[in-house]
Chains A and B, each alone.
Chain A
Amino acid sequence: MTIAIGLSLISAALLVAMSGHNPLAAFAAMATGAVGSPHQIGVALNRATPYLLAGGGVAICFRAGVINIGAEGQIALGGSGAAAVALHWPDSASALAVVAALLGAAAFGALWAAVATAIHLGRRVHEVLVTLLLNFVALLLVQQVLSGPLGQSGAGFLQSPAMPAAATLWQLPGLGCECRISDRACRGGGIVAGALAHPLWLRSARHRGVRAAPRLTRASPFRVSPGAVMLLAGALAGLAGGVEVLGVHHRLIEGFSLGFGFKGRNRRAAWGARASRRRTGMRSSSAMLEAGSQSMQRQIGVPSALIFVIEGVTMLFVLAATVRRA
């Protein structure tokens, strides 16, 4: 792992030097931007939330032997569900609106996973194909909904009206107090996601055992179907979409889910080769780097897109090193 990160940093340093900047200064700005203040830590947690939730769901599927790459669509549908419930909740001032909206997000995500599962099991289509193709259908469905019932008339973009204040997620004390953009940062989703993901991950080890070893199946009281695992993963991804809509954007926006699903799944897959206790931390670290890259771009002028190169190269090195050792 250390070698993989080191090699990827060297690759990134070469790219930074190629653009005429000092790599050390760029990395220092990135680190400062990631963990330099409580606000930055809150931003990183905020960014980590969808990765943790969606990645946790995908992890459970992987451990259970089901390849689910439909997190992107499930996040999109989850966000739509959260927006639909929050905008149509009868008592918009009630604190229950948040809970209902999050439940709606999880339900919509699970529903989309159920569609994939039904096609997979009913028509005997490989789950990779189903979940992958349904991603694009989901993204287009969200656009269709935003241009129709959930759309804000007169807006220049495909977006919904703003969520009611009671339906937005709460702010973590101590992290958001100094925020210049306090209404967009430091929401509690990161902590919730971390609290959810790790026990579910440990639990999924049993699922994997059930499916991977027929002998264990006969001895174990647990009977886990692929459908149940997919529903759980869909609910988690939908929850990620709901947190993103209710805690970050405060409205449903076209394309808000782009990248979360694929990155969450790939990170999980790459980090999945490592010890399980490190995975949540790894995903959080990636989010911190993304938060820090914005600071690097502002201070040094190195494009923040560099962070995706670092992440991707690290994952490639981790994949190569781990499988070779295995």
Chain B
Amino acid sequence: MIDFLARRNPDRNAPFVCGAWRRPFRARRGVRGWPRGHDADGGVFQPSSGRGPAAVSLVGIGLALAGGAAIGLVVAIVTVRYRADNMVTGLTANIVAAGLTSYLLRVLSGAGRPVAIHLTPLPPWADPWPGRPARNRAVAVRPPAADLSSDCRLHRPRNLPAPHASGPDFARDRRKSETVFASGVDPMRVRIVAVVALRRRRGPRRRSAIASAGRNLYRWHDRSRGYLALASLIVARWNPLGAALACLAFGAAEAFELRLQGFGVPVSSYVVQMAPYLIALGRARGTWPHVENAGVHRTTAVVGPMRIETFEGRIALGR
């Protein structure tokens, strides 16, 4: 049992970790970390990672980084430059990326044939520790290792200026924004860099997801891992290290669910799959009342700047 979990869990949790660690970083720079699910953004450019020079792992990772950054740049321009809503723009980018992935899969893999999709399987990643389960360990180690530099930033002191325009604590955010403006930093530039940098991390997440699941790119390969990453963050209350631990737990649950019935445990695998979301909902208490204490706060909205006001103890959004 332990051996099974040790071998399978890294496969599962590496994409979670890559997806989860980007969100606190973004949030500290004023960008809400709205979840991206299914085969979004970084997956767009990954069909090419199974061909030609991308057979080398590092090139594949580089392409994955570029893919995530390219979609991130689009989202950054629309949300920061044109002040469109983060959530709507991010989820719209999902539609674009999913469609583009599906389209490119067909175009690249079979001259436009819309039926079977067969790409050259990705090569297994090199094993840094010979004699151990090769692919699993490599998948588990490399993406987080590639994020070490960002991880250092995750632990930067909170009192450093950051243009945190939206988030749970609006009063603090407003003070920070004012600090940034006073220091002469261009908040728009910082936010664009933050969006691009953190979308970039989705590339390795996709790459590790593909590498762990048959080493081939297929539709829905992501299996909503972006949302599981969000759930892990909520469970950890936006703490990166706690999120990593939650990812380990969720990865274990995912690896364990199919074996559960084999052991005669009378629990449905669907219930096991639900568990992360239910736990996250249980842990998410109190993400809302900060708004009430903030008085009036300006944020971006679907159509234009919205105002969050309170009256009679309730929240009101208006323009």
Q: Which residues of chain B are near A270, meaning CB under 8 Å? A: 88, 92
Rounded to whole angstroms, the CA-CA distance of A133 and B224 in the bound complex is: 11
Rounded to whole angstroms, the CA-CA distance of A133 and B112 in the bound complex is: 36
Which of B84, B224, B309 has the largest count of A CB atoms less than 10 A from its CB?
Answer: B84
In chain A, positions 122-180 with a C-beta closer than 8 Å to chain B are 123-130, 132-134, 136-137, 140-141, 143-144, 147
Contact B78 A144 (CB under 8 A): no
Contact A303 B106 (CB under 8 A): yes
Contact A214 B311 (CB under 8 A): yes
Q: Chain A: interface secondary structure?
A: helix
Closest CB-CB distance, A316 to chain B, in whole Å?
A: 6
Asked whether A128 and B231 contact (CB < 8 A) given A272-B302, A308-B99, A323-B304, the answer is: no
Segment of A17-25, A86-94, A193-201, A228-236 in the binding face: A17-25
Is B87 on the interface with A (CB-CB < 8 A)? yes
Contact B317 A211 (CB under 8 A): yes
Contact B304 A140 (CB under 8 A): no
Contact A322 B281 (CB under 8 A): no
Q: Which residues of chain A are near B224, meaning CB under 8 Å? A: 136
Closest CB-CB distance, B95 to chain A, in whole Å?
A: 4
Segment of A48-56, A238-246, A261-269 in the binding face: A261-269
Contact A125 B114 (CB under 8 A): no
Closest CB-CB distance, A324 to chain B, in whole Å?
A: 5
Is A301 on the interface with B (CB-CB < 8 A)? yes
Contact A129 B284 (CB under 8 A): yes
Contact A133 B91 (CB under 8 A): no
In chain A, positions 266-322 with a C-beta closer than 8 Å to chain B are 266, 269-270, 272-273, 297, 301-313, 315-316, 319-322
In chain A, positions 81-122 with a C-beta closer than 8 Å to chain B are 119-120
Contact A119 B288 (CB under 8 A): no
Contact B289 A262 (CB under 8 A): no
Is B93 on the interface with A (CB-CB < 8 A)? yes
Closest CB-CB distance, B225 to chain A, in whole Å?
A: 11
Is B98 on the interface with A (CB-CB < 8 A)? yes
Contact B285 A125 (CB under 8 A): yes
The number of chain B residues with a CB under 8 A from chain A is 64
Q: Pick the residue among A130, A136, A302, A321 that contacts B227 (CB under 8 A).
A: A136
Q: Which residues of chain A are near B82, meaning CB under 8 Å? A: 319-321, 323-324
Contact B277 A124 (CB under 8 A): no
Rounded to whole angstroms, the CA-CA distance of A177 and B312 in the bound complex is: 56
Segment of B61-69, B123-131, B201-209, B267-275 in the binding face: B267-275
Q: Mark B81-106, 1 if CB is under 8 A from A, else 0.
A: 11111011101111111111011001
Q: Mark B298-319, 1 if CB is under 8 A from A, else 0.
A: 0010111100010110111111
Q: Pick the residue among A65, A125, A132, A140 that contacts B316 (CB under 8 A).
A: A65
Contact B278 A211 (CB under 8 A): no
Contact B304 A21 (CB under 8 A): no
Q: Pick the residue among B83, B96, B99 that contacts A323 (CB under 8 A).
A: B83
Closest CB-CB distance, A265 to chain B, in whole Å?
A: 8
Contact B113 A15 (CB under 8 A): no
Q: Which residue of A lies closest to B280 (CB)?
A: A133
Is B111 on the interface with A (CB-CB < 8 A)? yes
Q: Which residues of chain A are near B300, meaning CB under 8 Å? A: 323
Asked whether A133 and B285 contact (CB < 8 A) given A214-B309, A305-B103, the answer is: no
Is A27 on the interface with B (CB-CB < 8 A)? no
Q: Which residues of chain B are near A322, meaning CB under 8 Å? A: 84, 303
Is B35 on the interface with A (CB-CB < 8 A)? yes
Q: Pick the residue among B85, B286, B305 that contacts A269 (CB under 8 A).
A: B85
Q: Which residue of A lies closest to B285 (CB)?
A: A123
Is A212 on the interface with B (CB-CB < 8 A)? yes
Contact B88 A269 (CB under 8 A): yes
Q: Mark B219-231, 1 if CB is under 8 A from A, else 0.
A: 0000010010011
Rounded to whole angstroms, the CA-CA distance of A324 and B289 in the bound complex is: 31
Q: Pick the residue among B112, B273, B281 that contacts A20 (CB under 8 A).
A: B112
Q: Which residues of chain B are near A313, meaning CB under 8 Å? A: 96
Is A9 on the interface with B (CB-CB < 8 A)? no
Q: Pick the residue among A120, A125, A326 that contacts B303 (CB under 8 A).
A: A326
Q: Which residue of A lies closest to B34 (CB)?
A: A128
Q: Which residues of chain B are near A19, meaning CB under 8 Å? A: 107, 111-112
Q: Which residues of chain A are near B89, meaning CB under 8 Å? A: 316, 319
> Which 4 A-B residue pairings sit nearest by Cβ, starting from the closest?
A308-B99, A212-B318, A312-B96, A305-B102
Known: A308-B102, A324-B82. 16 other contacts (CB 8 A): A65-B316, A124-B288, A133-B277, A212-B317, A214-B309, A266-B92, A266-B95, A272-B302, A303-B107, A308-B103, A310-B99, A312-B93, A313-B96, A316-B96, A323-B82, A323-B83
